[in-house]
Structure 1
Amino acid sequence: MHATSIIANLKVDDLDSAKAFYTDYLGLRTEEFSLGWVARYVSPDAAAAKVQLVTGDATAPEDSVISVHTDDVRGAYDEARERGYEIVHPLTTEEWGVTRFFVRAPDGTVINVVSHRD
């Protein structure tokens, strides 16, 4: 797999109350998207500074701690299965336009592997 970016997924109880800290204090002013249960904020002058706030995943049985973006999500899925890694959430094209799956790392960490194009 070739990761094109990795974004931390921070568990929060309420997006609106958490947003102020990350936007006002840390300066992540640009909201790239918000689905009500997940929102991504980035620095307006350096797109590399990003964080996603997640109240709970809308379709997966567990929450992930990072999102790994890749240009070949199907290949990454096949490789994870070949290596015998646990698939927590199957390869799915979600209604908001991404294709993704969740895999459990050997240490137990749940990772969202995602592509915005398929």
Structure 2
Amino acid sequence: MQSKKISTNIPVTDIDEAREFYQDFLGLQTEEFNLGWVARFTDVESGAHVQLVTRDETAPVDSALSVHADDVDEAYREARERGYEIVHPLTTEAWGVRRFFVRAPDGTVLNIVAHRD
């Protein structure tokens, strides 16, 4: 699998309450998206970004990282072949991504994701 981008998923209780800190203080001015339960804030010049997550919409647990993969179907096949625990199955979500959650050997849950074209 080739990782194209990795986003840190920061757990928050309320995205609107967290906005001031991440946008104003850290300077991540661009709200790339906000689905109500997850939002990404980015500095367009540097590319620095974070995702704030209140709770995952469809998965049974929240992930620590979102890894944007070049081929999510191949990554899923490889994760299963290697015997890694799949926490959320390969799914095409209503908001336009195809993803699955996998648990790393250290226990960290990762969201392996690709946007539909």
Counterpart-to-counterpart distance in 2, 1:19 and 1:52: 11
Task: Name 1:6's counterpart in structure 2.
Answer: 6
Task: Name 1:38's counterpart in structure 2.
Answer: 38
Counterpart-to-counterpart distance in 2, 1:60 and 1:26: 29
Counterpart-to-counterpart distance in 2, 1:21 and 1:2: 32
Unaligned 5+ residue runs, structure 2? none
Q: Secondary structure at the match of 2:10?
A: strand
Q: Secondary structure at the match of 2:6?
A: strand
Structure 2: which amino acid aligns with 1:93? T
TM superposition shift of 1:46: 1.7
Identity, % of aligned positions: 67
Q: Is the 8 A contact 1:71 1:117 kept in 2?
A: no
Counterpart-to-counterpart distance in 2, 1:97 and 1:16: 23
With the length of structure 2 as denominator, give the TM-score of the two structures. Answer: 0.98
Q: Secondary structure at the match of 2:113?
A: strand
Count of aligned positions: 117
Q: Secondary structure at the match of 1:7?
A: strand
